[in-house]
Amino acid sequence: MKFCSSCGHAVEHRIPEGDHQPRAVCPVCSAVHYINPKMVVGCIPETPDGRILMCKRDILPRIGKWTVPAGYLEMGETTAEGAARETIEESQALVTMGRLVAVMDIPRVDQVYLIYHGTLAADAHFGPTPESSEVCLMREEDIPWSEIAFRTIEIALRAFFEDRRLGISRVHHEVVRLPAR
């Protein structure tokens, strides 16, 4: 940040009194501009016969790779609402949000992922969107593991299938360590 979003003056980068790390501080209106990690919310939509709705990305990054619906949480949304909205945007599908499957911290890129389980009706409509060139239902054995767009999505899917096999519900938490930038 170079300019104050409250008054437009150039900001200074310094540690405010009582704080512990540098912030963008406005010398004119005294506003302190905090920048915090972003939340990525999504879901694993499952049909009654156990198939998962997967999307082939038609946008950068990882265009052409597979994912479950997920994206940035918007202001004013709950995480479950955001996951449902992202599912519509990426697959046209209406899901009923269920339990939380996985929480993943990725400090290297300042993101936190929250992935839910979603219930998709047997006759649910779905299809391609501007964000997904293909949207289809896959059995566990059909998941293209080497073509999954993001490490976080692979972790969440593997956790989901493991829980389903064991017949248990739990929230997986993982700190995802990507190579240093």
Q: Rounded to whole angstroms, how far apart are CA atoms 93 and 111?
A: 25
Q: Rounded to whole angstroms, how far apart are CA atoms 71 and 84?
A: 10
Identify which of residues 6 and 78 has a Cβ nearer to Zn ion in the complex. 6
Identify which of residues 11 and 159 has a Cβ nearer to Zn ion in the complex. 11
Identify which of residues 14 and 139 has a Cβ nearer to Zn ion in the complex. 14
What token pair was written down for 92? 């046209």
Please state the φ and ψ torsions of residue 77, each to the nearest 5 degrees: -95, 150
Smallest separation (angstroms) from Zn ion to the CB of 24: 10
Residue 72 near residue 131 (C-beta atoms within 8 A): no
Please state the φ and ψ torsions of residue 35, each to the nearest 5 degrees: -120, 125
Identify which of residues 33 and 51 has a Cβ nearer to Zn ion in the complex. 33
Smallest separation (angstroms) from Zn ion to the CB of 82: 30
Smallest separation (angstroms) from Zn ion to the CB of 38: 24
Smallest separation (angstroms) from Zn ion to the CB of 27: 8
What are the DSSP E strand ranges found in the chain? 12-14, 23-25, 32-33, 38-46, 52-57, 66-67, 70-72, 96-106, 111-119, 132-138, 172-175
Contacts to Zn ion by CB under 5 A: 4, 6-7, 9, 26, 28-29, 31
Identify which of residues 1 and 175 has a Cβ nearer to Zn ion in the complex. 1
Residues 149, 80, 163, 178: what is their CA dihedral angle, to the nearest 10 degrees?
40
Smallest separation (angstroms) from Zn ion to the CB of 5: 8
